[in-house]
A and B are shown apart, each in its own frame.
Chain A
Amino acid sequence: MEVLRLQNLQKSFGSVRALKSASFTLNEGEVVALLGDNGAGKSTLIKAISGVFPVDRGEIYVRSQKVSIRSTRDAMDLGIETIHQDTSLAPDLSIARNLFLGREPVNLKWLGVFAPLDLAKLRDAASALLKRVGISKKLDADALVSTLSGGERQSIAISRAMQFAAKVIILDEPTNNLGVEETHGVLRFVKEVRAAGHSVLLITHNIHHVFQVADRIIVMRRGEIVAEQTVADTDLLTVESIITGADMSALLKETRAK
């Protein structure tokens, strides 16, 4: 079943056409890898989906319903959680406070932004979550994020996306700067998420990872989607040559034929 469908999304920054036209569909329980060289427009595409900035043109459908995503809050409410490339944690806040940032458990809800945080619940929920992701042994929910390593931070960001049971989880280069152990943690997480019926859009430069976890591959070049293939139907060398643009015409023909 289709969870997310993009139709002809376009976005320019001044004269830079970062996104010329992008259309694709993401199905339930599917991991789609979004590939492309630096500056291909991958981050721009997912920022548009997650409400960081509005698109110039194009439509977004969530579960076949046309939606307008005008803010990050809109995207979150639609069940789209994004972990951005430029890390998405506030270093001066504790792990627990980061995990619930923007969705804090509070008492006396009618007080609005002045409502007191439910600190006990915050800490308990955070510990439970860390345990579920398997990093509770090392980390204290009250520790400041600034005291964590890059890999630990990435794990926190990922467990946050997990906790709100998002329909769609978008990961922008989640294994960047990670050690071997942490990288395996992230890939395992992606598989778990799929097993739980969620969909994942994974951006990465590491093609090996793609073949380990993805069902489908989408390749972008200069703001356009140039190829779409299922992982079972392709191999590493083919994908690599599509990304770099070598022998593009032959490959495009091949994709179109399918």
Chain B
Amino acid sequence: MPGVKRRSSLIRSPQFSSLVILVVLLAAFAIADANFLSPLNISNMMAFLPELGIIALGMTLLLTGGEFDLSVGAVFGLAPVVVMLLVQSGQVDIGVALLAGLLLCVAIGAINGLIVTKIGISSFLVTLSMLLVVRGAALYITQGFPLKSWDQPGFFVTLLAGSFNIGSFRFYTSLWWFVGLSLLAIYVLHYAKLGNWISAVGSNRNAAVARGVPADAVKIWLFILTSVLAGLAGMISAFRISAASPVAGTGYELEVIAMVVVGGTALTGGRGTILGTIVGALMLRSIRNGIVLIGVPGLAYNIFVGVIILAMLILHALLQKNAARS
């Protein structure tokens, strides 16, 4: 019976166990504090969600292709800083500055990808070094001071950080970006030819190459994509809070990778799920938000986040193991 088979494979899928955990988590926070599901709090979560979520989409594809990128947090910080410096120099208008910022991200991604594929150094080492270079550059060109971000209303501000109300909820346009990019990523990974190549390259690179799949090109473009999405997320964030800080995005790389693997994408490559990543992004966002609401003391905050992520991963692994056995 195909219906039954399909249902059981859905339950076994990694996204599904993540979704169960997410629902349990949301219920727990909602019971612990009634404000958790208030319009204000949900609006709050939805404002932050896309910024890390957009990076997580790129990271999911990259991890599926068998590589990862530790420089995304630094790129998140550098891109808007460069945009604002260009605008402040008075030479270019905001549109050109944004384009230049994104091109810089393309260059950073391309350098990561070229070194990893052509010289053959692990992406851990390459992107760790890149993290230092990029973060260092952001600090140096700003002398460590945050810049006031572009706040005059206009096309680009609306495009990246506009907001709108639905009932008593307040949403930012960045949520549309996240939704749109998620749909695109789902299409590419699961339905397009490219997705087949990405999974194959991450699963068994030699096999993919033997079938004529341009493995290096696939990886290089994934590095570029991840960097560009990180830069875009940085710009969205800077516009929303009207400030571009050279230390913005510190630690994001690990949080993004956590989102992706909590969602069920294999750290070892080959198996990726965008739906899982969306669930993972929601999960980490609500953990951050929820533990503040239930009154975890500020300094103990990261201990809790770390422990909860670890618990998630263990639970996740156990669920997976059980599902595989049955």
Interface residues of A (CB under 8 A from B): 50, 52, 71-73, 76, 82, 84, 86-93, 97-98, 101-104, 106, 111, 113-117, 119
Closest CB of chain B to A163's CB: distance in Å? Answer: 12
Q: Say whether, besides A76-B212, A86-B206, A102-B208, A114 and B194 are in contact (CB < 8 Å).
A: yes
**With A and B bound together, what is the CA distance between A123 and B269 in angstroms?**
24
Asked whether A91 lies within 8 Å of B193 as measured between CB atoms, the reply is no
What string of 1s and 0s marks CB contacts (under 8 Å) between B38-76 and chain A?
000000000000000000000000000000000000000
Closest chain B residue, CB of each to CB of A47: B210
Closest CB of chain B to A202's CB: distance in Å? Answer: 18
**With A and B bound together, what is the CA distance between A86 and B208 in angstroms?**
12
Which residues from chain B contact A97 at a C-beta distance below 8 Å? Answer: 196, 199-200
Which residues from chain B contact A71 at a C-beta distance below 8 Å? Answer: 212
Range, interface on chain B: 20 to 34
Q: Which of A52, A87, A93 sits near B199, CB closer than 8 Å? A: A93
Q: Which of A52, A93, A106 sits near B203, CB closer than 8 Å? A: A93
Closest CB of chain B to A220's CB: distance in Å? Answer: 22
B128 at the interface (CB under 8 A from A): no
Asked whether B203 lies within 8 Å of A101 as measured between CB atoms, the reply is no
**With A and B bound together, what is the CA distance between A73 and B202 in angstroms?**
19
The 7 residue pairs across chains A and B that have the minimum distance between CB atoms: A102-B211, A92-B270, A73-B212, A90-B203, A92-B203, A113-B194, A90-B200
Which residues from chain B contact A117 at a C-beta distance below 8 Å? Answer: 191-193, 196
Which residues from chain A contact B209 at a C-beta distance below 8 Å? Answer: 52, 72
B197 at the interface (CB under 8 A from A): yes
**With A and B bound together, what is the CA distance between A84 and B271 in angstroms?**
23
Asked whether B204 lies within 8 Å of A89 as measured between CB atoms, the reply is yes
B99 at the interface (CB under 8 A from A): no
Which residues from chain A contact B266 at a C-beta distance below 8 Å? Answer: 92
**With A and B bound together, what is the CA distance between A90 and B271 in angstroms?**
11
Q: Which of B187, B194, B199, B212 sits near A92, CB closer than 8 Å? A: B199
Asked whether B193 lies within 8 Å of A93 as measured between CB atoms, the reply is no
Closest chain B residue, CB of each to CB of A102: B211
B188 at the interface (CB under 8 A from A): yes
Which residues from chain B contact A73 at a C-beta distance below 8 Å? Answer: 212
B213 at the interface (CB under 8 A from A): yes
Which residues from chain A contact B271 at a C-beta distance below 8 Å? Answer: 92
Asked whether A101 lies within 8 Å of B193 as measured between CB atoms, the reply is no
**With A and B bound together, what is the CA distance between A86 and B199 in angstroms?**
19
Asked whether B196 lies within 8 Å of A103 as measured between CB atoms, the reply is no
Asked whether B210 lies within 8 Å of A72 as measured between CB atoms, the reply is yes
Asked whether B210 lies within 8 Å of A52 as measured between CB atoms, the reply is yes
Which residues from chain A contact B206 at a C-beta distance below 8 Å? Answer: 84, 86, 88
Which residues from chain A contact B212 at a C-beta distance below 8 Å? Answer: 71-73, 76, 102-103
Which residues from chain B contact A84 at a C-beta distance below 8 Å? Answer: 206, 210
**With A and B bound together, what is the CA distance between A147 and B263 in angstroms?**
22
Q: Say whether, besides A102-B213, A114-B188, A90 and B208 are in contact (CB < 8 Å).
A: yes
